[in-house]
Structure 1
Amino acid sequence: MNQIDIVLPCLNEAAALPTVLAALPPGSRAIVVDNGSTDGSAEIAAAAGALVVSESRRGFGSAAHAGLLAATAPLVAFCDADASLDPGLLHGFRTLVDAGEADLVLGARQAEPGAWPLHARLANRFLARRIRRATGYPLTDLGPLRLARREALLGLGLQDRRSGYPLEMVLAGHRAGWRVIERPVPYRLRDGKSKVTGTLRGTLTAVADMSRQLRAHAADRAATPDRARP
Structure 2
Amino acid sequence: MRRVTVDVDVVLPCLNEAEALPWVLARIPAGWRPLVVDNGSTDGSGDLARSLGATVVEEERRGFGAACHAGLLAAEADVVCFCDCDASLDPGLLTGFVRAVSDGEADLVLGRRRPRGRGAWPVHARAGNLALSRMLRRRTGLRLRDLGPMRAARREALLGLDLTDRRSGYPLQMVVRAADAGWRVREVDVPYLPRSGKSKVTGTWRGTWQAVHDMRQVLAEAPREPAAGGAR
Q: Which residue of 1 aligns with 2:57?
A: 53
Q: Which residue of 2 aligns with 1:213?
A: 218
Indicate whether 1:87 and 2:91 are aligned: yes
Alpha-carbon shift at residue 130 of structure 1 (Å): 1.2
1:147 pairs, out of 133, 148, 152, with: 152
Structure 1, gaps ≥5 residues long? none
Distance, in Å, in 2 between the alignment partners of 1:136 and 1:229 is 19
Distance, in Å, in 1 between the alignment partners of 2:34 and 2:152 is 13
Please list the CA deviations of residues 44-102 of structure 1 after superposition, one character each: whole Å capped at 9, or x if unmatched: 10001111010000000000000000000100000000000000011000111112111
Alpha-carbon shift at residue 220 of structure 1 (Å): 2.9
Q: Which one-letter code corresponds to 1:114 in the other structure?
A: G
Distance, in Å, in 2 between the alignment partners of 1:105 and 1:140 is 13
Distance, in Å, in 1 between the alignment partners of 2:204 and 2:8 is 32
Q: Which one-letter code corresponds to 2:72 in the other structure?
A: L
Indicate whether 1:33 and 2:37 are aligned: yes
Alpha-carbon shift at residue 185 of structure 1 (Å): 0.1
Structure 2, gaps ≥5 residues long? none
1:96 pairs, out of 88, 100, 107, with: 100
Q: Comparing both structures, which one devotes a greater share of its residues to helix?
A: 1
Q: Secondary structure at the match of 2:220?
A: helix
> So what's the TM-score if we normalise by structure 2?
0.93
CA contact (8 A) 2:16 2:42 kept: yes
Paired residues in the alignment total 225
Alpha-carbon shift at residue 28 of structure 1 (Å): 0.9
Structure 1 segments, 4+ long, off by >4 Å, are 226-230
Q: Which residue of 2 aligns with 1:70?
A: 74
Indicate whether 1:42 and 2:55 are aligned: no
Alpha-carbon shift at residue 135 of structure 1 (Å): 1.5
Alpha-carbon shift at residue 136 of structure 1 (Å): 1.7
2:19 pairs, out of 15, 22, 30, with: 15
> So what's the TM-score if we normalise by structure 1?
0.94
Q: Which one-letter code corresponds to 2:120 in the other structure?
A: A
Q: Secondary structure at the match of 1:19?
A: helix
Q: Percent identity of the aligned residues?
A: 63
Q: Secondary structure at the match of 2:189?
A: strand
**RMSD of aligned Cα (Å):** 1.8
Q: Which residue of 2 aligns with 1:111?
A: 115
Q: Which one-letter code corresponds to 1:97 in the other structure?
A: V
Please list the CA deviations of residues 89-119 of structure 1 after superposition, one character each: whole Å capped at 9, or x if unmatched: 1100011111211100000000123111100
Distance, in Å, in 1 between the alignment partners of 2:16 and 2:136 is 31
Please list the CA deviations of residues 117-136 of structure 1 after superposition, one character each: whole Å capped at 9, or x if unmatched: 10010110111111122212
